[in-house]
Amino acid sequence: MSARTYRNLIQYGLLALMLFVLSVFLLYPIGLTVRGGFAEDPATGSGFTLDHLRLVFEDPNLMGGIMNAFKIACAVTFLCIVISLPLAVLSARYSFPGKKILNASILVPLILPPFVGAIGIRALLGREGALNALLGTDWDILGQAKFWGVVLVMALHLYPIIYLNATASLANLDPALDESAENLGAGGWRRFFKITLPLIRPGLFAGATIVFIWSFTELGTPLMFDYYGVTSVQIFYGLKEVQNSAEPYALTLVLLVSAVMFYLMGKMVFGRKGYAMYSKASRAGGETPLPPFWGWAASLGFGFVVLLAILPHIGVVLTSIAEPGSWYGTVFPKDITLSHFNEALTASESFNSIKNSLILSLIAMVLNMAFGVLIGYLIVRTTIKGRSLLDALCMLPLAVPGLVMAFGYVAMTLRWPFESGGPLEGTWLNLEVFGEDPNPFPLLIIAYAIRRLPYIVRSTVSGLEQTSGELEEAAVNLGASRVTAVRKVIVPLIMANLIAGGLLVFSFSMLEVSDSLILAQRSDHFPITKMIFEFTNRLGDGIYIASAMGVWGMTLLTITLFGASLMLGKKLGSIFRV
């Protein structure tokens, strides 16, 4: 057997292994959800019927949930574009006072899950909140407009995704195009709408797609605002009947199909016509210094957005240091304590949840880093058939709603061989979620790893594309094996990308909401986000301990996100692309 043939066998073997893993833990759960929506018997998944779907469409409450979710997604996406696009243009093309600090601060919303931020917004904008106390009013903003409360919190959390994509796209533009149009007499607005916007539309659409799907299927934020008339919350409460009722399956299927349909409609409307450049940023365009007045105006604009974005964080921090009952009808808490932070770290329930999240997220990060190197190598360094399919499957978790994935994993535990009484019961591969002896940890690790796989793959691919393959070939020619060449030459060269992607996997896994809320059903299995949700439902000091846990999570995610931002720079936006 020749060396080339042996190498091809190894590459195709690795490709087959990766496709098998993704088929079992990505396609199979999605397929079970789809199958369950048409099954006559939800317990076994047998038979075929359209009755379950018909009942969903005939139920005004369920259809109202779909429409409310769609309205939330549209409003959030629109607000995110309105907020982020002007900021991205200012950041990419102009220099102004405090730009570096403001560019870093604009990413602050990503350090807090929106459902935790809802705690802070309620403290600030509630009927007895800080705003009414400051103005002497009695507005019931969140009580009468829960819909807009959900939209506001989610928009302030998700706009950095569009900002990162838009900034990365603007950085790739060849400035000669804009200069040519200017020389021909085109004004600034006309150049923006006729040249810049069409060229960055793919990146803008990619970011908007993530925001739309995320907000369309968001679970935690509507729960925190007691806004139950959305599909995600209806599915969450329907899980109690998943073993005996097909309605949760049918509702999840409708959610999945709706998300795909809305994406395709957006693709047809906004992505049907592409514009290509002969070169991408073939030369540096430089940044234009703004005149003093407009420079400070730009700084104030950035600062205002940052201020709005950190309002939920401020509310959570103030709640975490307030004595129970001391922040009611006042601008600031009357009495302050740090005991909630101690409780969040030392109480058995909260400490156990933090430990669970740390262990689960670390394992998911290590798995993803190993798989990321293998997958990135197959995509960039080989020419084998099927690598495009592998790349597409790796990006699929960005396009599939997290709630659908979590529900699919629940459905998987009810089927052979994971079902109760099946051959894996009593072993470490027992993935039971419901039952007398549930073991959700393996499933949570898998869910975290699969959901965050796009981050590490895109980061690794970016690093490999910037690293010459001749270095690897030189090591092989000097007698090193292919594995040794990759381990000792390629991996050290892309280590910054691996670490940056790994940090993102770890941090976003720590604060994952859908998988944690759905897959962990017993208190000793709760990750940190499920424990925060449970504390918010506890009378007395529950909301304060939940806020303290949220602050600990914010601190951790701040460190990891800024570390990843420093390592990846403007390429950070590329991991949020479908």
* Distance separating alpha carbons of residues 217 and 268, to the nearest angstrom: 22
SS3 annotation, 24-82: HHHHHHHHHHHHHHHCCECCCCECCCCHHHHHHHHCHHHHHHHHHHHHHHHHHHHHHHH
Between 26 and 415, the higher pLDDT residue: 26
Helices and strands (H and E) in the chain: how many:
28, 2
- 8 A C-beta contact, residue 252 and residue 69: no
Residue 284 is predicted with a pLDDT of: 45
Q: Nearest 5°: CA angle at 113, between 402 and 303?
A: 130
Which two tokens mark 563?
A: 């570390």
Residue environment code for 551-578, b if the CB has 16+ CB neighbours within 10 A, otherwise e: bbbbebbbebbeebbebbebbbbbbbbb
Cα separation values, 517 from 421, 458, 527, Å: 25, 27, 8
Output DSSP code: residue 55.
H
Residue 319 is predicted with a pLDDT of: 93
Q: Is 573 helix (H, G, I), strand (E, B) or coil?
A: helix
Output DSSP code: residue 108.
G
Percent above pLDDT 70 for the chain: 87
Q: Which candidate, 211, 235, 165, 172, places its Cα nearest to that of 403?
A: 235
- 8 A C-beta contact, residue 197 and residue 250: no
pLDDT (average), residues 180-191? 72
Q: What is the DSSP string of 247-258?
A: HHHHHHHHHHHH
Residue 283 is predicted with a pLDDT of: 43
Cα separation values, 139 from 117, 134, 152, 183, 311, Å: 20, 12, 17, 54, 18
Cα separation values, 533 from 81, 268, 514, 518, Å: 30, 39, 12, 12
pLDDT interval class at 426 (50, 70, 90):
low
* Distance separating alpha carbons of residues 421 and 41, to the nearest angstrom: 19
Per-residue model confidence as pLDDT tens digits over 272-324: 555 555 455 544 456 778 888 888 998 998 889 888 888 888 899 999 999 99
Q: Which candidate, 422, 407, 402, places its Cα nearest to that of 246?
A: 407
For residue 364, how far is the Cα from the chain centroid? 15
Kindly report the number of other CB atoms within 10 A of residue 501's CB atom.
32
Is 69 exposed, middle or buried, given 0-12, 13-18 or 19+ CB atoms closer than 10 A? Answer: buried
Per-residue model confidence as pLDDT tens digits over 85-108: 998 888 888 888 888 788 777 777
Q: Nearest 5°: CA angle at 183, between 177 and 185?
A: 110
pLDDT (average), residues 425-450? 78
pLDDT (average), residues 214-219? 88
Has residue 203 got a pLDDT over 50? Answer: yes
pLDDT (average), residues 536-561? 83
Kindly report the number of other CB atoms within 10 A of residue 273's CB atom.
7
Give the DSSP H/E element, type plus range, for residue 288: strand 288-289
CB under 8 Å to 185, separation ≥6 — which residues?
none
First to last CA, the chain: 40
Has residue 131 got a pLDDT over 60? Answer: yes
Between 116 and 449, the higher pLDDT residue: 449
Q: Which candidate, 372, 373, 345, 401, places its Cα nearest to that of 513?
A: 401
Sign of the dihedral through C-alpha 19, 23, 24, 25: positive
Residue 356 is predicted with a pLDDT of: 93
Torsion angle, CA of 478/479/483/485, rounded to 10 degrees?
-20
Residue environment code for 185-204, b if the CB has 16+ CB neighbours within 10 A, otherwise e: ebeeeebbeebbeebbbbbb
Which two tokens mark 367?
A: 């798995």
Kindly report the number of other CB atoms within 10 A of residue 503's CB atom.
24
Residue 541 is predicted with a pLDDT of: 84
* Distance separating alpha carbons of residues 129 and 124, to the nearest angstrom: 5
Q: Nearest 5°: CA angle at 99, between 98 and 102?
A: 85
Crossing angle of helices 3-22 and 348-381, in 10° steps, is: 140
Residue 105 is predicted with a pLDDT of: 78
- 8 A C-beta contact, residue 52 and residue 246: yes
Amino acid at 292: P
Which two tokens mark 353?
A: 């949840």
pLDDT interval class at 429 (50, 70, 90):
low
Has residue 222 got a pLDDT over 60? Answer: yes
pLDDT averaged over every residue in the chain: 82
Percent above pLDDT 90 for the chain: 19
